[in-house]
Structure formats: structure tokens, C-alpha cells
Amino acid sequence: MRSIPKWLRELLIVIIVVLLIRAFLVQAYNIPSGSMKPTLLVGDFILVNKLVYRFSEPQRGDIVVFKWPLNPNIDFIKRIIGMPGDTIEVRGEKVFLNGQEVPLRLIESMEEDGITKLIYEEVLPNGLKHKIALYDSPLIERRNVYIKIPEGYYFVMGDNRDNSEDSRYWGLLPKENIVGKAFVIYFSGDIPPLETTDVNILTGFRQLFYALLNPRIERIGKPLIEQ
């Protein structure tokens, strides 16, 4: 080991530490699409706690990164809405948990690509409040779902309800597919969106480069913990 230059030894130690942190503690991801608007925007770079669910169970309202059940090579990010043991019904824009409608409160309306988008505050049964987006006139018919969630599974949805491929379309999320819980936006920039299948390490570096050129300072350091 002494024959190896000091700078190379130090570099190897740093690489090993980073790999250990990435494997067991925290991993960085970038948001490629608008499925989690208004909570997460295209160009948000987030940190995910990979250790938290080794000591506790996922909670309703958690924003989780997971291996997509239809293709585990692709990572998705959604919010947990339905828990094991719940009966969940999605009827148009309305969500019912164990027979009770999840309340929505209209906050504002805005224009996006020539379409009116309505921003609501959704209050989950555990008291967690977060924002969701619905198109005033959805471009596609909203999917209706009724299901009893078995143990070991979760029902996840994107906050951008009319532009999210989630449990309404591909089914329940197995717990073993969950990578971790998103907890902070460590950087953000105004960049073009990507298709989910386009996301890889090279596009990740490219998106970060674009973000550095067009930073959104007000979002840097924003925690992903709702009230």
C-alpha cells in the first residue's frame, strides 16, 4: 500500500466511502418528468434516505423512490396514498380511503401549455397535507380503481394526478421494490423533461449540467416534509 502514491490512496478511500454511502445510506436522483408537480419539478435533484425503512415502515404521504414493478431497471418516484389493509377507491378526481373521501381544498388555478390546471391541498387521514394538481379538463379519461390492499403492498400516486403513471395503471407497489424516502431538494434548475426510459447516468450528468446553467435558487435546500 505504501508504494501507492498518497493522492491515489486518498482518492481510493473517498471513492469507497462514497460507494458505501450510496449503497446503504443516501442516494441522489434527478426528477425527469412532471408527474410529481407541484411538489417536485423537472430539474429538481433530490436526496433519498435508503436506510430509513430498515428501521421503520413506510408511512402514508411519504414520497418514495422505487423499482418500477413492470421493469425493475427503471426507478419511479411517487407518493404513498394507500397502506396495507386499506380499501382504496379512485373515482375520477376523488380518492376514498376505507369509505371516507380524502378532502380537497382548491388553492389556485394556473395555465400550463394552454390548459387550465387546478392546484388543491389534499389532506390524508393521518393529517398530512400536500398539494396536488388536476387539469380543469383532463386530456384523457381518469382511471377508476377499487382495491383492497394486502399486506406488503402500497398504493402510490403522483401529485400531478392527470399526468402520472402510477398504481391506478400498473397496480400495487411491493414493499421490497422501495429504494428509500425522498427528503430534500439539494439542487434545482430549469431543464427540459425526459422520458422515463431515457434516464441513465449519462443523461443524469447532462441534466445536472443544464441545471447548473439555469439554477432555481429558491428551491435549493427545500425539505420534502409536509405538515
Q: Quick check: is 117 catalytic? A: no
Active-site pick, 50, 78, 117, 181: 78
Active-site pick, 33, 35, 164, 188: 35
Residue pair 183/47 in contact by the 8 Å Cβ criterion: yes
Residue pair 133/159 in contact by the 8 Å Cβ criterion: yes
Q: Quick check: is 78 catalytic? A: yes
Residue pair 29/45 in contact by the 8 Å Cβ criterion: yes
Beta strands in 32-170 (DSSP E): 44-49, 63-67, 75-82, 87-91, 94-97, 100-101, 104-112, 115-123, 129-135, 145-148, 153-157
Active site residues: 35, 78
